[in-house]
Amino acid sequence: MRAARLTPIARTGAALLTAALFGLAPAAPALADDSPSPSPSASASAGPPTEAGTDFRTATAVQQGERATADASTGDYLYWAFPGDTGQDITVKATVTFPSTSVTHAASTWQIDVYDGLRRHQPCRYGMASRQADPGATSVELSCTLRTVTSYADTWSNDPLRGAYYLRLTATDIAQTDLGLPVQAAVEATASDAGGSAAADGSVTPLVPRESASVVPSGGWSSTWWSARWLWSAGGAALAALAGIGGYALTRGRGRPRGIPREV
């Protein structure tokens, strides 16, 4: 039995679809982000911050991966601000160290809270955001991993949107005799890529309040019109078209057998 041959149109269509399918992968990185990278700021070249703000408006800007430090006293509210971009799983860590001259007389509870650009409190997906320090402890460590940052969310939801994020560190329960004792705080925000499964249709402008205008990723905000969903959708459509062409070529028949006259 002779194998079914593709018609010229079918061969051309198959070639074009195959080229489109295999040509999508190299082009994807170039489309990921076409926004220009901002020039390094003077604060970035000076090294990580060594102080913290006292409220949202005075929060100290810090980049992801920077370990910011601050000298403070028990009872202070410490604020930092960092950028969170689309598709990131952000983890915030904080360490409070009690110097040898700062011996607590009673147990104290320390806590970190994270807020988005709209100052909505964001819950931790996992981690230890609140922890008790026993009397005489030398340090206490806290951590909080947020839900995946999205580029778009319904107005009724509390989903974390891209933009500025605020980290607040404070002691929520402390004895009066321990108020004002010196402490040293260190915080760091890191992020990992959640992948194409977290992509969402639609986008909003990064939520960066006026007082936090310096909270911008070192490489600029990512583009939101392109996501891995485009690649998977286009690849699936191309494979479906190729399967359709192949099925048609195999089932359309071999044509009129030789020797059979045409009907008059």
Residues 70 and 92: their CA atoms lie apart, in Å, by 16
What is the rounded average pLDDT of the residues 238-258?
Answer: 70
Angle at 205 between CA 202 and CA 211, to 5 degrees: 155
Residue that wins the pLDDT comparison between 219 and 4? 219
Alpha-carbon gap, residue 68 to 169, rounded angstroms: 12
Phi, psi for residue 22 in degrees, rounded to 5 = -80, -15
pLDDT tens digits, 187-207: 999 999 876 655 555 677 888
Give the domain ranges of the chain: 8-30+228-251, 40-212
Q: Mean of the pLDDT values across residues 4-26?
A: 47
Tell me: pLDDT of 1 over 50: no
Given CATH 2.60.120, say whether it is the number of domain 40-212: yes
pLDDT of residue 25: 42
Residue 55 is predicted with a pLDDT of: 96
- pLDDT tens-digit series, residues 38-89: 444 444 457 899 999 999 999 999 999 999 999 999 999 999 999 999 989 9
